[in-house]
Amino acid sequence: MPDCAIFADTGREPRAVYDHLAWLMCGNVLPFPVHIVSAGNIRDELAAAADGKRCASIPAFVKTVARCRSLMRTRRGKPP
């Protein structure tokens, strides 16, 4: 049995996801705690990147030349 669960909140999940999370955390469903972590709202970060205010820092997966799935590196901070 796990020691805990971790929910990585993007800030833009559908209402049903948050409702289900609340149900899981109500105390009688899971025998372990759920920890919620967040780095902000993913939509706001993408909008700021589109406006040139910062670089997007989202988890993005790409296929390499060898057709392997790989996590794309993104920069944090202001664009050059």
Distances in whole angstroms, Cα of residue 76 to Cα of each of 1, 9, 24, 48: 36, 19, 33, 12
Q: Sketch the domain layout of the chain as residue ranges.
A: 1-38, 42-80
Q: Give per-residue pLDDT as tens, 6-45.
A: 999 988 899 999 999 999 999 899 999 999 998 878 777 7
The pairing of beta strand 5-9 with beta strand 34-38: parallel
Phi and psi (nearest 5°) for 63?
-95, 130
Q: Give per-residue pLDDT as tens, 38-79.
A: 887 877 777 777 777 766 666 666 666 666 555 555 554 444
pLDDT of residue 62: 62
Q: List 9's β-bridge partners, or say none.
A: 38
